[in-house]
Amino acid sequence: MRAKISYAITAAVLVVYFVLVGSRGVLLIKAGTPLTVTFGVAVLILPVIGVWFLWKNTEFVRDANRLAALLDAEGGLPVDELKRLPSGRVDRGSADEVFARRKAETEDAPDDWRSWFRLAVAYHDARDTPRARKAMQRAIALHKTSH
């Protein structure tokens, strides 16, 4: 719940920022000189890109949460079996061991969104965020094509 509130606050702040930047772009365009119009258009592009990025990211999070709920209902969510160091950080060897099992599971069932979801969690636990995101995107795509 805390993550949802944090995400909502961040999204709201970004929307306010996009509105402020967009209004400055409009003011520059209204000034009417070739230089201000050029800058105004350039400034308006930033909020458009930002809104698109925010939308895609929100869609990704919503889809990943939906898959997590489905997997939880099936009793298939991965259990946290990672060993921790006294500092609380995940033991690298433990993460590598779990990752190897998840990777083998995915290789055995490459068309199963569940295995890709669990692989994404393993990548995340191993602190490999780019690969975790790609694996989750694959899980989402496989789930969408299976329904």
Cβ(120)–Cβ(139) below 8 Å? yes
Superfamily (CATH) of domain 92-146: Tetratricopeptide repeat domain (1.25.40.10)
Q: Is the pLDDT of residue 3 over 80?
A: no
Whether the pTM exceeds 0.75: the reply is yes
* Share above pLDDT 90 across residues of the chain, in percent, rounded to a whole number: 63
Query: Phi and psi dihedrals of 84, rounded to 5?
Result: -120, 150
93 or 142, greater pLDDT: 142
* Share above pLDDT 70 across residues of the chain, in percent, rounded to a whole number: 100
Residues 137 and 147: their CA atoms lie apart, in Å, by 16
* pLDDT on residue 87: 87
Residues 19 and 14: their CA atoms lie apart, in Å, by 9
